Chain A
Amino acid sequence: MVDYNMLEWARAQFAMTAIFHFFFVPFTLGMSFMVAYFETIYVKTGKAEWKQITQFWQVLFGINFAIGLSTGIIHEFEFGTNWSTYSWVVGDLFGAPLAVEGVIAFFMEATFAAIAFFGWKRVSKGVHLMSSWLLAAGSNLSALWILIANGFMQHPTSAFYTFNIDTARLELTDFLSLILQPVAQVKFLHVVTASYTMAAVFVLGVSSLYLLRGKYTSFAKKSATVAAASGLIASIAVAVIGDDHAYEVANTQPTKIASLEGLIVGEKGAPIVAMGLPKYMSVEEIKNAKEGDGFTFEIALPHLLSILGKREFDAFVPGVKDLIYGNEEYGIWSWDKLVAEGKRAIDDLHKYHAAKKAGDEAGMKAAEEDFHAIVADVDGTKVERAELMGYGYFAELPNNGIEFAYPPVAPVFFSFHLMVALGFWFILLFVLAYVAVLKDTYWDNKMLQQAALFTIPLPWIAISFGWMSAEIGRQPWTVFGVLPTFKSVTPLDLVNVQATFFMFLVAFVVLGIAELKMLFTVVKNGPKGAH
């Protein structure tokens, strides 16, 4: 039996690492292209000022780069150290993108970073420029592969995996389908465009600081012009792709979309709650809930969730109640029914191995047939009992673990809505900034400059909220519908996990403060002499 206290510590450790890692990674993804773009202008024009601009932003990028890289390796290790069962059960699918990421992306990043940072005087301008672009490409390719891996965790499908009854694990069947899964592709685009937005906000904000102080004006104007234009494109792209992302989520992770929107009871023409305060509801209360329940107060926009999630004005969107207690009208199975089928699959697995041990071939065949029997047909896609095995593990818990059947609504709802609100703020800021730059009024518009300056930390908050809604929203699964979180964790004594949690916490706090101190100093000292 899993020690749930230890499980929560292991989750907290992973979440802490992920959030800390993602303070640096998106900045790297965005700034690498921004720096390469500045350098291109320098190489084309040959003007020393553009070299200074490039080197200034590169120094800031460099401080982030190392810590982003180092926190990335913690993840790779933690999959093995703290989530060893996960690594065994899905390693065949999850390991391949990680390895490809290493071969294709990491070496490109690490190799060309050496030239980009230290080669200013050792290589030609052309080779240096090429290195800057390859560094940016390597960083972004790295994001692609890890998000392919994450996409699999969000929406595993029989298009690219099968459950092997002999090895008792998931195995890859079609790598191309794994790569091209729509969930991963929209996730990648959403993440990288958010990262470009972050970089643009940072460059615009720091440039605005210099404008407000009347320092390095020419430098600031040039930087802000590039940032306003790229930020406008990126921030709009985030929203457009975010809409596609939400559509994918609605059709692949119904419990997540219900929690993101606080939808307790499903309905036709379901609304989006623009602002609201979700109520805590026990499973018993959810069982008795009626349409519209779930909020202490809300400002709802009718039909929008149906349009967003199903692209239909009056489409039915299931709520938490439908998803855990079932809804016959729409063919939705109850949690208990899913658990019962899953439990039968687990029993088949054990029967198969017992028969194998006894040399009973007939027994093996019978168990395997039952294991792979088709139990449902969802819109033409046949579902095998084996695919529901993950639900069967919940039979170990009281009441089939029904209270864990969906993610906690309030944190998912709030993190998602705050992310969206911030996303709209970035679009507004960049529209105003871009128009002002075009009209040549940005340089005197103190209010807009101050707004840009105070916006600097917000992309970090928005991106963290985005990941929180995605990852907490996937609970209680590590691989949605396939592997429960409590069956993924390494069985360790609590003290080990607590000790490493604090070991990393102290390191992250110290290194994080050091990082910020260095960033502030570079910004304070300005572009002169930055190299």
Chain B
Amino acid sequence: MEKWAGITGTGTTTDPSTMFLLQQYWWIIVAVLGGLFVLMTMVQGGQSLFHTAKDEMEEKALINSLGRKWELTFTTLVMFGGALYAAFPLFYSVSFGGAYWVWMLILFGFVLQAVSYEYINNPNNLIGKGAYKAFLYFNGVVTVILVGAAVGTFFTGSNFSFDTTTRILEWGTAADGINLRGLEAAIDFGHGAWFNVAFGVLLFAIARLLGAMWIINDVDNNEFADLIARVRAASKRCFFVFLGALVVVLYGLVTLKGYSYDIHTGKVFMEDNKYLHNLLAGYGIQLIIFGIGAVLFLLGIFQSIFGNSTGGIKASGLGAVLIGIIVFTLAGLNGTPFYPSYADLQSSLTIQNTSGSEATLWVMTGVSLAVPFVLGYIAYVWYQMKKDGPITREELEDPESHAY
């Protein structure tokens, strides 16, 4: 008898197929939120470009352009966490409780970011402007790489075992005997650390490219011509980092022996080229979406980074969302344990054995109907704030306009 067999989180359900549909629906919602989060990491990416500002006004332009959007990134992250908590509580428990230091450092990076925009240009901020700039840079580089590496473990696995009855979670010890509580994902090359790190670097490069395109779009290109030129130059260099990391990640995805499970028995096993199979499953719909996303992402880069257009963020932004969605669907659908364990294969977490009850998933499904409305008013507000054109020197200097 397999450890998870029969434990599908079904609780009160009488129809396992309905339950499974709800679990898949919720994984797709998580994937969409993940995709939106990838787009919103443009704020972090932009923070990693602070060094391109050479005077106070240029710096202020960057801070105000990014600072008006940080709350949305933050909220998307909170929502991503909230959706995982409600829909897949066992994942929340195992991953957050197990990979303790990874999540704590990610959390710390976001806490530092949250206060920095409000405090950075305030003369009484206690620790000086430089400190808050460093916080934003830390959040823009280290935090993003950590998030990417954490998502990488969705493919390479983690070092844990879990018993549902006794509720005992054991997070394994690294080879040198120290329990790094998740940080081993970046150094344990025998268990795919190279892939995790490449994934982190890839996310960082995507974030920086998106950040650059957002700045190019949001800051007046004529008044800040020198800044825009430096942002473009930095992004061109970043593009090559992006390509390098992409090659490694794609190589990994295509060649990695992936984790798989039987959706009826719950038995987990290894499968050659699993993620390639996932990409091609269902008439290749994921491959098509991934391809469209990749083309759009590159199109935007050629428009705004290698060309002089200000609108590249639109194509690249949409492309990033689509790519993000497919990364998560590859990790969790088609009989794939989205949080595998290499220490105890049968402890691997799937959308079936981690999910909330049917009642909760139904309630959440009802709530998810509000999402288009939420996206609608976000778009409305975005339009309202952008309709008068990009950020100008006049606006930043105007005492009547609240500015960071």
A-side residues, CB < 8 A to B, are: 55, 58-59, 62-63, 65-67, 69-74, 76-77, 79-85, 87-89, 91-96, 98-104, 106-115, 117-123, 127, 131, 162, 164, 166-168, 171-175, 349-350, 353, 356-357, 359, 490-493, 496, 500, 503-504, 507, 510-511, 513-515, 517-518, 520-521, 529, 531
Contact = CB atoms under 8 A, between A and B. Distances in A.
B75 A106 contact: yes
Contacts of A356: 1, 6
Contacts of B126: 510, 513-514, 517
B89 A507 contact: no
Contacts of B71: 69, 109-111, 113-114
B68 interface: yes
B93 A121 contact: no
Interface centre among A111, A119, A503 (most CB of B within 10 A): A111
Nearest to A508: B111
A102 B82 contact: yes
A119 B400 CA distance: 11
Nearest to A85: B167
Interface string B90-118: 10111111101101100110111111011
Contacts of A172: 356-357, 359-360, 363
Contact of B74 (A73, A77, A79, A520): A73
Given A87-B97, A166-B7, A107 B75 contact: yes
Given A96-B364, A171-B12, A172-B357, A503 B108 contact: yes
Contacts of A513: 126
A529 B398 CA distance: 11
B243 interface: no
Given A71-B111, A77-B103, A513-B126, A175 B363 contact: yes
10 contacts: A65-B118, A66-B117, A80-B85, A81-B100, A92-B356, A107-B374, A123-B384, A356-B6, A503-B104, A520-B124
Contacts, number: 287
Given A80-B92, A87-B97, A95 B402 contact: no
B12 A77 contact: no
A466 to B, nearest CB: 25
Interface residues of B, number: 85
Contacts of B68: 114, 118
A518 B122 contact: yes
Nearest to A98: B82
Given A72-B78, A92-B356, A503-B104, 8 more contacts: A58-B402, A92-B360, A95-B85, A103-B371, A106-B79, A111-B377, A491-B168, A518-B122
B119 A518 contact: yes
B329 to A, nearest CB: 20
A104 B360 CA distance: 17
B367 interface: yes
Contacts of B360: 92-93, 95-96, 171-172, 175
A122 B384 contact: yes
A62 B118 contact: yes
B181 A102 contact: no
Given A69-B74, A118-B401, A121-B395, A84 B79 contact: no
Interface string B1-32: 10000110111100000000000000000000
Contacts of B111: 70-71, 73-74, 507
A504 B107 CA distance: 11
B378 interface: yes
B86 A167 contact: no
B75 A168 contact: no
A65 to B, nearest CB: 8
Contact of A96 (B86, B112, B169, B371): B86
5 smallest CB-CB distances across A and B, nearest first, come from A84-B97, A80-B96, A91-B89, A70-B114, A95-B86
Contact of A490 (B1, B114, B169): B169
B401 A168 contact: no
B46 to A, nearest CB: 16
B123 to A, nearest CB: 8
Contacts of A507: 108, 111-112
A93 B368 CA distance: 17
Contacts of A74: 107, 111
Interface string B170-202: 000000000101000000000000000000000
B378 A111 contact: yes
A121 B395 CA distance: 9
Interface of B: 1, 6-7, 9-12, 64, 68-69, 71-72, 74-75, 77-79, 81-83, 85-87, 89-90, 92-98, 100-101, 103-104, 107-108, 110-115, 117-119, 122-127, 164-165, 167-169, 179, 181, 356-357, 359-360, 363-364, 367-368, 370-371, 374, 377-378, 381, 384-385, 387-388, 395, 398-403
Given A87-B85, A103-B79, A81 B103 contact: yes
A350 B135 CA distance: 49
A353 B165 contact: yes
A106 B371 CA distance: 12
B400 A518 contact: no
A92 B90 CA distance: 9
Given A87-B97, A92-B89, A73 B110 contact: yes
Contact of B359 (A99, A120, A175): A175
A407 B399 CA distance: 54
Contacts of B69: 114
A517 B128 CA distance: 12
A107 to B, nearest CB: 5
A56 to B, nearest CB: 12
Contacts of A96: 86, 356, 360, 363-364
B1 A496 contact: no
A476 B218 CA distance: 53
A162 B359 CA distance: 11
Contacts of B108: 503-504, 507
A89 to B, nearest CB: 7
A173 to B, nearest CB: 6
Given A111-B378, A172-B363, A518-B122, A95 B112 contact: no
A136 B169 CA distance: 41
B82 A77 contact: no
B275 to A, nearest CB: 26
B82 A95 contact: yes
B170 to A, nearest CB: 8
A493 B179 contact: yes
B320 to A, nearest CB: 19
A41 to B, nearest CB: 19
Contacts of A359: 1
Nearest to B64: A118
A101 B83 CA distance: 10
Nearest to B110: A73
A84 B93 contact: yes
A471 B384 CA distance: 43
Contacts of B7: 166-167
Nearest to B403: A118
Contact of B12 (A82, A164, A515, A517): A164
A349 B165 CA distance: 8
Contacts of A58: 402
A506 B10 CA distance: 44
B78 A103 contact: no
A521 B118 CA distance: 14
B97 to A, nearest CB: 3
A101 B95 CA distance: 22
Contacts of B123: 521
A315 B47 CA distance: 63
A531 B1 CA distance: 66
B62 to A, nearest CB: 15
A118 B165 CA distance: 52
Contact of A119 (B10, B90, B385): B385
